[in-house]
Amino acid sequence: MPSASVIPLKPMLFNPQAQVCADCGIRRFSLFGVLDHQALDNIHVHIADLHLQPGQSLYSAQGQGSAAFTVRTGVVRLERSNDRGERRILRLAGRSDMLGMEAMLGQSYAADAVACTEVTVCRLPRTLIDELSRNQPDLLLDMMKRWQRALDDADEWLTELCAGPARHRMLRLMLKLSEFSDGDQVWLPSRLEMGAMLDMTIETASRLVSQLKREGVLDTPDQRHVRIHMDALMKALREDADGA
Amino acid sequence: MPSASVIPLKPMLFNPQAQVCADCGIRRFSLFGVLDHQALDNIHVHIADLHLQPGQSLYSAQGQGSAAFTVRTGVVRLERSNDRGERRILRLAGRSDMLGMEAMLGQSYAADAVACTEVTVCRLPRTLIDELSRNQPDLLLDMMKRWQRALDDADEWLTELCAGPARHRMLRLMLKLSEFSDGDQVWLPSRLEMGAMLDMTIETASRLVSQLKREGVLDTPDQRHVRIHMDALMKALREDADGA
DNA sequence: CGCACAGTTGAGACTCATCAAACCACGTGG
DNA sequence: CCACGTGGTTTGATGAGTCTCAACTGTGCG
């Protein structure tokens, strides 16, 4: 037994990877959240930390996937081209969301993942799942919950953002964006991105944003950020639901 | 060794449940497809066989889920109400698709599941997943693949059926429906259902169907079935993609 | 300064929703 | 048997909502 003077408050972690994960700000929301320090120490695969600039691609559809990812900061969009060659944004991933999990099943990626803002992610190599099923089978259940969460997100995106008149879809988008806020500022997509999310033209998106600014629902300190006045937004959503 | 005259061609299964599953026509597409007879014999939970009439509900959102289901025959729709109280169909499930898997994670159902046609399903009790993780951990990986497949379906539904002009969405729906065909007849949704899938009114849906009948893409032996002329459909889809 | 590019705004065309009426296939009850 | 209502479907006329095309305005950058 080591002398008391050198025992740290937390158990010492000999695996440097474990130390990084232990200190990670979002660990309690992430896959490893349920692991204690000791268990963390037993993870042997290399978990890399990636940093992306807006517009940079995290992975591409059809690419043979070699890793899944956990978003630590920023917003990532999942997109796909349909048969007419138009790009469609399927959904957004933010802090603590996991994407590209299909790679862990040996499948190719199902969509493109592109950074919308500055983004930091953890890269979880494909082999992690093998290690988990051997050493931490409990985490497989957690993985399933991640899948279910992705499915829930997809379903919600479809019901809320893909139906009804353009104005209503835009209002719902603002509500959705507010979920990705850090502080009172929220990332504001380009008009092109809005179009790809809501299936409308950039002109319509622009008109709607301008309109909401005039109504005092939004204001835009700069081109890529927006302050959303939630009370006004909610009021608009209500009026719009039963008013039409 | 028993005398040759009494040895069955397949090994004898003592668990009556196993016998049912072994004889199931879709077993090789289903969760238990990878199990051999012996392993099948070790499944102890009770897997019930359900039969539903068109319009009958399989489960409802918010209901505390007690089971997942595998579709053996027929078509089931997953639907949800959005904030404006309109029902939206999220996707369809057919032969060998699994639904309600969230129940296995102890969660409530994320949507309503309703039979569109006559339907037969297997009911897989929630406790099955515990049994699997204890006795057949390999199947957990298979379960994950099911989740990924559901996610892929959701993403495809969104990209193909939720964007573009009404006519194009209707054409894509016909293509999608043809995946659920048995024989040359395919289930034809009601106009109300089409509206809930494609976000259009029943009038628009009706007009488009009539138009496609006139063009020789569809014909309807009876109200609830359609014969789809795939070559004409494909031609229409192509013209529609680059023509507009 | 001038170019490139995203965003804004307007006018007209077209798609689709709305409202209304008629039709059809049913089953019910007189 | 037929009249009758019911619920889903079809069709038409009209108007609202979006797209398209076009011009213009900003903003950043060489």
pLDDT given at position A101:
96
pLDDT tens, position by position, A104-124: 999 999 999 999 999 999 999
Question: What does the block give as tokens for B66?
Answer: 């007690």
Q: At CA B105, angle to CA B99 and CA B109, rounded to 5? A: 45
Amino acid letter at A1? M
Q: Which nucleotide is nearest to A222 (CA to C1')?
A: D27
Which residues of chain B make contact with A199, given a CB cutoff of 8 A? 162-164
Q: Decide: B122 and B72 in contact? Cβ < 8 Å.
A: yes
pLDDT given at position B7:
45
pLDDT given at position A9:
47
pLDDT given at position A243:
58
- Bridge-based pairing of strands B87-93 and B98-99 is unpaired
B31 closest CA partner among B67, B77, B76, B75:
B67
Give, in Å, how far the C1' of C7 lies from the CA of A174. Answer: 18
B115 forms bridges with which residues in the sheet?
B76
B224 closest CA partner among B199, B194, B203, B195:
B194
The model carries a pTM of 0.91
Distance of CA B87 to the CA centre of its chain: 19
Q: Decide: A152 and B149 in contact? Cβ < 8 Å.
A: no
Residues of chain B with pLDDT below 70 are 1-16, 44, 242-244
> In the structure, what pLDDT confidence band is assigned to residue A11 with cuts at 50, 70 and 90?
low
Question: pLDDT over 90 for what percent of chain A?
Answer: 65
Identify the residue with better confidence: B50 or A139: B50
pLDDT given at position B12:
59
pLDDT given at position A19:
75
pLDDT given at position A27:
79
Long-range contacts of A127-135 (CB under 8 A, 24+ apart): A127/A45, A128/A43, A128/A45, A128/A47, A128/A68, A128/A104, A129/A104, A129/A105, A129/B141, A131/A43, A131/A44, A131/A45, A133/B137, A133/B140, A133/B141, A135/A42
Give, in Å, how far the C1' of D28 lies from the CA of B201. Answer: 46
pLDDT surpasses 60 at A225: yes
A86 touches chain B (CB under 8 A): yes
pLDDT given at position A1:
45
pLDDT surpasses 90 at A205: yes
A61 touches chain B (CB under 8 A): no
CA distance B47 to B107: 20
Give A36 to chain B, closest Cα distance, Å: 21
> In the structure, what pLDDT confidence band is assigned to residue A5 with cuts at 50, 70 and 90?
very low
Q: At CA A168, angle to CA A165 and CA A171, rounded to 5? A: 150
B236 closest CA partner among B178, B174, B183, B179:
B174
Across the beta sheet with A225-228, what order do the strands follow? A185-187, A225-228, A218-219
- Give exposure, A215-231, as e/b (b: 16+ Cβ within 10 Å): eebbeeeeeeebebbee
Question: What does the block give as tokens for B109?
Answer: 């159902």
Average pLDDT over residues A39-60: 87
In strand C, the nucleotides that come within 7 Å of a protein beta carbon are: 6-11, 15-20, 25-26
Average pLDDT over residues A61-89: 93
> In the structure, what pLDDT confidence band is assigned to residue A183 with cuts at 50, 70 and 90?
confident
Contact B160 A82 (CB under 8 A): yes
Contact A133 B140 (CB under 8 A): yes
Strand C at less than 7 A from CB of A210: yes
CA distance B155 to A88: 10
Strand C at less than 7 A from CB of A163: no
pLDDT given at position A56:
95
pLDDT tens, position by position, B89-141: 999 999 999 999 999 999 999 999 999 999 999 999 999 888 888 888 888 89
User: Could you tell me the domains of chain B?
Assistant: 16-155 (2.60.120.10), 162-243 (1.10.10.10)
pLDDT given at position B3:
45
pLDDT given at position B134:
85
CA distance A76 to A57: 9
pLDDT given at position A210:
97
Average pLDDT over residues A124-152: 90
Give A239 to chain B, closest Cα distance, Å: 11
Give, in Å, how far the C1' of D21 lies from the CA of B191. Answer: 35
Q: Decide: B101 and B146 in contact? Cβ < 8 Å.
A: yes
Give B54 to chain A, closest Cα distance, Å: 23
B93 touches chain A (CB under 8 A): no
| Interface list for A 199-228 with B (CB within 8 A) | 199
Which residues of chain A make contact with B150, given a CB cutoff of 8 A? 151
Across the beta sheet with B225-228, what order do the strands follow? B185-187, B225-228, B218-222
pLDDT given at position A68:
96
